[in-house]
Structures are given as C-alpha cells and as structure tokens.
Amino acid sequence: MHVQAPVVDRFREDVLAGLARVPKRVPPKYFYDERGSRLFEAICELPEYPITRVETALMQRHSEEMAACLGKDVWLIEYGSGNSRKSRLLLEALRPAVYMPIDISVEMLERTARELALRYPWLRIEAVWADYAEAWELPPVAAGARRVAYFPGSSIGNFDPEEARRFLASAARLVGAGGGMLIGIDLKRGVDRLTRAYDDPQGVTAQFNLNLLVRINRELQGDFVLERFRHVAFYNEARGRVEMHLQSITHQQVAVAGRRFGFFAGEAMHTENSYKYSVEEFEELARTAGFSPRRRWLAGEDPFAVLYLEA
C-alpha cells in the first residue's frame, strides 16, 4: 500500500487551530476514524438519507453504459473509496487495468482492498492511503493507459465551490488530456427533505457528528462531555448547503492536548458543509476547472446525478 499523507499528524494541529477560530470549526474529513466510518455506513442505510441508495440504483441501471464511456485499459482512481460498494458495480462492468482506491481511513482501505482482492482475483489493486484533498502523487501509471477518476457519493459537496473548482482542476491535471472523471452529485431539492437527511429521528447522524468529540478525547487527550453538546443540522438556502454543527448546551471550558477552550452557552462549532448543486451549476463549475461535461445519468424522485466529464 502506498502511504502518502500520514493523516494523523495533522489532526492535532487542525483541531487546535480550529478550536482557536471564531467561529470554531473542525474539518469534516476527521469524522472518519474506525467508528466514524461505521456510523457513516449506518447513515447510508437510513430511509431519510437517500444519497447512497439512489446513486447505487443509478450505477446498477447504467454501469454498462458508464463503462462504455470510460473506455478500455482504464486506470480507475477512486477518491475516498470507503467500503467501495458502489465501485463494485463499476469494476464489474469496466474491468479496469488497475483499481486505485484512495482513502483517509487506513483501516477501511485495508479491509476494502482485502475484500476486493478475494472477490475479483483478476483485479490489480493499488491502494493509496492519503488525504485526497491534499497534494499527493499518483504511483506510476503504465504508458498508454487512460486515467479516469471516480468520485462518487457527492463527497465533493464538502468543499466550498472555490475549493471544489481547485480540486476538479487538480483532478483534470492528474488524469491528463483525454482522461476522464465520473462523479456523483447530490442535487438541490426541498428544504425539509434535505434537513431530515442530516438530522434523522434515530439520531445516527447526531452520533456521527458527536463522534468527532469522542475521537478528540481519545487521540488528543480531550475532556469533552458529550452530554453537553448537541447535534445541529440545517439547510442554508442562501449558500446552497446543509450545515452541521456541534452546539454547546452550557457555558463550559474544555481541555484538548493540554490547552483550554471556552464555549459559551449556545456556541456552535461548525463540523460540516454539504453543498447541493443543480446539474447546470455543477457542469459550469467543471468547465471552469478544465473538464468538458459529456454524459449525465439522472435519478428521478430523489434528485441525484452521475456525470461523466472529460479532461
């Protein structure tokens, strides 16, 4: 396995810097420790969270067509592969020369690579442990092979539009002229449905959000008391994004890595943005990053799109 950006090294400095900011914030990539990755899988099963289901159905229905678009002798590079469940549909239809999953969670990456190796003995897997939002190097790709980036799950929604543009531009450079990108985008829809997807009645998303404090307590010697924070999620219509926060219920002091941070009652720590696009908005963004939109596959009832872009 290629180990690129030892993600743990940055956790401490990012959290300390984020807690010192006004308003406080911690980047959402830190949700995905072992327990966080499992909680995210549980979110994907919730009736209120349609993204994964709808995207999987799209992949099921159209994987042959997608594979035909992507072409032959493809090096498939997957950003944030997680459990790679959706990728299986694509892998089976595409039979790429190499599958290169990149993930921030090393446990998830190892488990997934092992499972895929058993399931697909014909598949060459080159796993990369890295934070895909940071600069990282692609292990050498055979000459003549076509590079296609796969970025499912609407994870690009975690970037604000300017970061998303920069990210797409770097992906366009990575795959090179003639390379491609297959990307899943969660689309704008009614406010109520959007909010419920991030504030489910079972409280799984709340646990996922609060797990960030569990992780800080464990890895950075924090003393957050979970009962003193609550999960808050809402759709910010003006900015076209769902926001998640951890709100302090009381006035309190918290220690992390030997430093103290004060929270006033009601103070919110921002933990995630999840931007929603229209297909047109997103394709325009992709164009400004150097991609040409080539194909769209749209879901009906719960708006979601898989787009094929060419560099």
In the complex, the residues that contact ligand AVJ under the rule CB under 6 A are: 43, 51, 153-155, 157-158, 198, 205, 272, 274
Q: How far is the CB of 158 from ligand AVJ (least distance, A)?
A: 5
Minimum CB distance to ligand AVJ smaller for 157 or for 179: 157
Min. distance of Cβ 96 from ligand AVJ in angstroms?
Answer: 23
* Minimum distance of ligand AVJ from residue 82's CB (angstroms): 8
Closer to ligand AVJ at the Cβ: 112 or 274? Answer: 274
Smallest gap from residue 31 Cβ to ligand AVJ (A):
7
Q: In the complex, what is the shortest distance from the CB of residue 27 to ligand AVJ, in angstroms, rounded to a whole number?
A: 12
Q: Are strands 252-256 and 259-263 parallel, antiparallel or unpaired?
A: antiparallel
What stretches of the chain show up as alpha helix (H) in DSSP?
A: 8-20, 34-44, 51-70, 85-94, 106-119, 161-175, 191-197, 204-219, 279-288
- Of all residues in this chain, which one has the CB nearest to ligand AVJ in the complex? 274
- What distance in Å separates the CA atoms of residue 311 and residue 294, rounded to the nearest whole number? 10
Nearer to ligand AVJ, 80 or 179 (CB): 80
Considering beta carbons, is residue 11 or 198 the nearer one to ligand AVJ? 198
Token output for 175: 């795959």
> Between 99 and 198, whose beta carbon lies closer to ligand AVJ?
198
Residue 232's closest CA among 220, 241, 242? 242
Assign 3-class secondary structure to 183-234.
Answer: EEEEECCCHHHHHHHCCCCCCHHHHHHHHHHHHHHHHCCCCCCHHHEEEEEE
DSSP lists the bridge partners of residue 293 as 309
Task: Kindly state the DSSP code that residue 140 receives in the 8-state scheme.
Answer: P
Q: List 232's β-bridge partners, or say none.
A: 245
